[in-house]
Amino acid sequence: MTRHRSAVAAGVLATALIVVFAYLSPGLALWLTFIPAMVIAYGCHLATTDRRLPDPSRVLPIYLIGLAWQFLHFGEEFMNGFNRRWPTEVFGAQAMSLPLFVWINMISYAAFAMGALAIYRGWRVPLLIAWFFAIMGAMGNAIGHPIYDLVAGDLAFPGIVTSLGYWVIGPILVHRLWTAALPQVAEARPVAVSV
């Protein structure tokens, strides 16, 4: 697939996911978090991983650490009612049902696992998902949870403890996705032969 076609395909994927986020959003919750994160992820993908594939040996270890940490983060949110409190206390919206909250997270984690496979195999279009995880899953949680604490007036808002780990994981992951490219192989050029 040419770079132009992969950029368009990633744009179609980003647009489809934005539509899904908009549909599932309790009030403005996903409009103000997931949707801007997807736009940023697409821009980062176009600027980096759509042009040059990331080096799996440099990116995949921190990506997988971040994904493992995400499971712990989900556990903290799940046990403390994030699905009820986040939409209502932060966005003034209706609570998210627990089954919907679990499904959104499990589908996301399945997609994030595909992002790891994309890093490993060098599949350009799904690298958008790897970027979305870096932007929303890592940096979004690192930045968002302290804000949720302040808005809700509760310094123990669900997810705050594990979100702190993303202050370390997130910047490393973003930096490596941005900079750890595989070396480009020079194209063979025909050599002029003089007789």
Give me 3's structure tokens. 């770079």
- pLDDT at position 186, please? 46
d(CA 46, CA 7): 7
Nearest Cα to Cα of residue 25 among 90, 71, 106: 90
* 181 strand-pairing partners: 54
* 54 strand-pairing partners: 181
Per-chain mean pLDDT for the chain: 93
φ, ψ dihedrals at 151, nearest 5°: -65, -40
Name the band, by pLDDT with cuts 50, 70 and 90, for residue 185. low
- pLDDT at position 181, please? 87
Residue whose pair of structure tokens reads 């194209």 in the numeric block: 187
- pLDDT at position 173, please? 98
Name the band, by pLDDT with cuts 50, 70 and 90, for residue 3. confident
What is the pTM for the complete model shown? 0.92
Residue 188 region by backbone torsions, left for phi larger than 0, else alpha for psi between -120 and 50, else beta: beta
| DSSP summary character for residue 89 | I
Name the band, by pLDDT with cuts 50, 70 and 90, for residue 189. very low
Give me 33's structure tokens. 């978090």
SS3 54: strand
Nearest Cα to Cα of residue 117 among 128, 127, 105, 107: 127
Contact assessment for residue 144 and residue 170, using Cβ atoms and an 8 Å cutoff: no
* 182 strand-pairing partners: none
What is the pLDDT averaged over residues 132-139?
Answer: 98
φ, ψ dihedrals at 16, nearest 5°: -60, -45
23-81 pLDDT, tens digit each: 999 999 999 999 999 999 999 999 999 999 999 999 999 999 999 999 999 999 999 99
What percentage of residues in the chain have a pLDDT greater than 70? 94
Give me 6's structure tokens. 């992969």
SS3 181: strand
